[in-house]
């Protein structure tokens, strides 16, 4: 049959890989959106976790800066944590609240968020290539009527590709500097950054920053 001939020629491999990438993208989306981004536990549990050596390396900061208690959920905030009013929790190493995910991006799900953006970018580029290859341009009303759906799909894919690409590049840049979106945008408002002698006390070099984040 035609299907067996296509399989023998390897023509079904690319569609299969594309479907698997789409499935992987969907699974990553639900994983990142449903998982705990690093919610700060009650004060007793935080101290117990720190005593077991589960915390990250704390940079040198001025001694007069103390950990403050959150005015919303009343827990003592670890450094780099922030309260999200949408999630009603303080989040460790808070980056931002993503409206697409309806969840915060924080210490626990930030690496998976980068993986999701990467897979999504590959899917969009592949889909854009397929849509573009199906277009043949003619200056006629009949051509527009037959290709309007494919043309709209390509334009939407192009817009989403630009958005995802900018998001991925900006996050990779911030990760290479060991800073978060919140710290980058609100540097002047954060006490441990505003009073620090270093512009970014968490920066340990690009290689080590990337290693600590992904590994």
CA distance 28 to 14: 21
**pLDDT for residue 58:** 47
Reference 38, options 87, 71, 99; nearest CA is 87
**pLDDT for residue 21:** 96
Residue 153 lies in a domain: yes
Q: Residue for token digits 């341009």? A: 137
In three-state secondary structure terms, 84 is strand
Residue 190 lies in a domain: yes
pTM for the model stands at 0.82
Residue 133 lies in a domain: yes
If one counts the domains in the chain, the total is 1
Residue 71 lies in a domain: no
CA distance 109 to 87: 15
Domain that holds residue 196: 2-37+105-214
Residue 64 lies in a domain: no
Residue 72 lies in a domain: no
Instruction: Calculate the CA 128 to chain-centre distance.
Output: 22
Query: For every one of its 215 residues, what pLDDT tens digit does the chain have, with 9 covering 90 and above?
Result: 555 555 556 667 888 899 999 999 999 999 999 999 999 987 644 454 444 444 444 454 545 556 678 888 888 888 899 999 999 999 999 999 999 999 999 999 999 999 999 999 999 999 988 887 766 666 666 766 777 787 888 889 999 999 999 999 999 999 999 999 999 999 888 888 887 778 888 999 999 999 999 98
- The catalytic site residues sit at 98
């Amino acid at each position: 049959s035609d299907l067996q001939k296509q399989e023998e020629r390897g023509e079904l491999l690319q569609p299969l890989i594309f479907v698997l990438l789409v499935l992987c993208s969907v699974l990553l989306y639900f994983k990142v959106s449903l998982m705990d981004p690093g919610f700060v536990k009650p004060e007793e549990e935080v101290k117990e976790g720190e005593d077991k050596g589960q915390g990250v390396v704390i940079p040198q900061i001025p001694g007069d800066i103390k950990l403050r208690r959150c005015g919303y959920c009343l827990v003592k905030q670890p450094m780099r944590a922030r309260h999200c009013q949408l999630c009603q929790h303080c989040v460790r190493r808070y980056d931002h609240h993503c409206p697409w995910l309806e969840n915060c991006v924080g210490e626990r799900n930030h690496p998976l968020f980068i993986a999701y953006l990467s897979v999504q970018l590959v899917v969009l580029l592949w889909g854009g290539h397929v849509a573009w290859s199906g277009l043949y341009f003619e200056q006629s009303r009949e051509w527009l009527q037959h290709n309007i759906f494919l043309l709209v799909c390509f334009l939407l894919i192009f817009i989403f590709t630009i958005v995802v690409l900018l998001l991925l590049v900006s996050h990779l840049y911030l990760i290479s500097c060991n800073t978060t979106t919140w710290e980058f945008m609100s540097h002047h408002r954060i006490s441990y950054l505003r009073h620090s002698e270093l512009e970014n006390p968490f920066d340990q070099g690009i290689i080590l920053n990337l290693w600590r984040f992904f590994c």
